Chains A and B, each alone.
Chain A
Amino acid sequence: MKEYEILPCGDTAVLIRFEQKIDPAILRQVTMMANAIKEAEIKGILDLIPAYASILVCIDPLKTDMRSIIAEIEKLKPEKQSEKEEQRMIRIPVLYGRPFAEDLEHVAKHAGISIEEVIRIHTANTYPVYMIGFLPGFPYLGNLDERIHTPRRTEPRTDIPAGAVGIGGSQTGVYPISSPGGWHIIGQTPVKLYDSDQKQPVLLQSGDLIQFYAINEDEYEKIEKAGGKLCL
């Protein structure tokens, strides 16, 4: 049985849509299909945007047409990678609370727990990266502990700085560049998730596992001075 449908997005892209839910099993299907498309080197494909439960395939309509792209994709038999790829575990240092982050108290108050408890919970879980998008290098993370889910701010901030660690509803994540946003900011990382001066500008990729750990101001400064690199 087919696990997906293919829908046109104008004449310059098609959307491969899987069952619409956040689920590691669906993400695996997405990854397998994306790999299969890359390997097939289908003529006229410009770009792929894998997401939670879909892949947008951008095409050049002067080099191919919708019908043949759809037919080529349907021919593919995505398979699991023979060697199971090792998932990367990436530990991200975070200076929780002030002076950078103003919403830690609010998140604690909303959850009815102490600030220390929020930090303990936020650093306890491992978060899978489901997709990258919205901003350059912005990771959509799953698995935030329900106790610290916090509805978004009613008034979005106009300028959240790069490195801000936030909670928005049932999601948590890090802003790679400064941006407006409605998430509660609970901490700040000195690590650059996006650096347009690097050959590989984006630190994280879909499939990575993330863990946050708390640092103090001295450690923050040290990492920042060293260029915002991960301490491996």
Chain B
Amino acid sequence: MFVKVKQSGAVTTIQDTGRYGFQGQGIPVSGAMDPLAMKMANILVGNEENHPVIECIGIGPVLEFSDSVYFAVSGGNFKMQLNDEAIQINHLYLAKKDDVLKITYSASHRSCIIAFAADFDLAPVYGSYATDIKSRIGPYEGRKFKSGDIITLKNVKTKLPNEKKRIMEDYPAKEAVTKIRVIPGPNEDLFTDDGIKIFYQSIYTISPKSDKMGFRLDGETVETTGSHDILSAGIADGSIQITSQQPILMMKDHAATGGYPVIATVIRADFPKASQLMPGDQIQFQMVSIEEAADALKKQNQYLEEKKKVFEKKGIFGRFRR
């Protein structure tokens, strides 16, 4: 079966958890901007957590189905409908032949993920299904979708246990100021005490000049002890680089290396929340320890594991049900 792209939306691509193993050659890790949404959508449709998915940034696509397939949408609170009926985020749906899924936009969030209970009939590129538009790497010609594209699916799952129970909690409404937890460094030693104080006390605003490579943060400048230039080094997801003008929070398409000092790095558990921030949203950074970061991630993962158990549980009479 296949899915026809009737309208492409703004930036609609195939993604997975990211392309690891090639960053040393300058190839960005890329992958789903909101990795938690990717996992939630996949678990809803009974896939492995890191199964390839479709990522929609900004404005979503209009997709037409050639046959039946289960799907779920997770992540940002996007408005969407199946044919003429409004449908909900974080629920399981069964699309039928000729159905049209229309994902429009979200007033509050940047991206959402569509997972199908099926495999893409595409080959991974350098071990991954992630698409990096700038390097033109990805399973679908290394590009974003355009109207008229055909996405072929195979190994379509026709039955899922506990269909009715397959629901996950939506993201909570955004706070006036989103608190994002960070671990200091690796270059905290290159900032003055005042600079560090300003960084944690300031409320920054997400600039309109933000994309999947990085979010520019408008607000107070942070003072370094010396130059803003350092020897180029590898960059981790969620690094907060301080340039001479402003902090930049590195997203999934960030360059593999960079030459600006990194004052702090967003913890994995809060990266999804940070990734959903929109231009004009306010953000403040909170310092935590490595142990707190590990606990936060464990808690997030526990939720996913519990849901997986509920969804995949086979009832005593399961095998007799049709």
Contact = CB atoms under 8 A, between A and B. Distances in A.
A205 interface: yes
B137 interface: yes
Contacts of B28: 136
B294 A65 contact: yes
A135 interface: yes
B26 interface: yes
A66 B236 CA distance: 14
Given A46-B20, A48-B24, A65-B290, 11 more contacts: A10-B293, A12-B265, A17-B186, A20-B230, A53-B231, A67-B290, A131-B232, A132-B25, A201-B126, A202-B27, A205-B25
B25 A12 contact: no
Interface stretch (A54-62, A88-96, A112-120, A183-191): A54-62
B54 to A, nearest CB: 21
- In this complex, which of B26, B28, B232, B290 has the most chain A Cβ atoms within 10 angstroms of its Cβ? B26
Interface in B202-249: 230-239
B186 A133 contact: no
Contacts of A56: 23, 233-236
Given A51-B234, A51-B257, A140-B232, A9 B265 contact: yes
A196 B137 contact: yes
A95 to B, nearest CB: 24
Contact of A202 (B26, B231, B237): B26
Interface residues of B, number: 45
A47 interface: yes
Interface in A122-141: 131-138, 140
Contact of B257 (A20, A22, A48, A49): A49
B28 to A, nearest CB: 8
B267 interface: yes
A52 interface: yes
A144 interface: no
A11 interface: yes
A201 B236 contact: no
Contact of A9 (B23, B125, B230, B239): B239
A156 interface: no
Nearest to B292: A11
Given A11-B267, A47-B21, A133 B232 contact: yes
B23 A49 contact: yes
A33 interface: no
A5 to B, nearest CB: 9
B186 A15 contact: yes
Given A54-B233, A136-B27, A8 B125 contact: no
A46 B24 CA distance: 11
A13 interface: yes
B160 interface: no
Interface in A183-211: 194, 196, 201-202, 205-206
A215 to B, nearest CB: 25
B232 A51 contact: yes
5 contacts: A9-B262, A65-B294, A67-B290, A133-B257, A177-B136
A76 interface: no
A50 B256 CA distance: 10
Interface in B16-49: 20-29
Interface string A155-175: 000000000000000000000
Contacts of A137: 25-26
A22 B236 contact: no
B265 A201 contact: no
B294 A61 contact: yes
A121 interface: no
B238 A133 contact: no
A133 B27 CA distance: 8
A11 to B, nearest CB: 4
Given A196-B137, A201-B126, A10 B23 contact: no
B232 A10 contact: no
Contacts of A46: 20-21
A135 B255 contact: yes
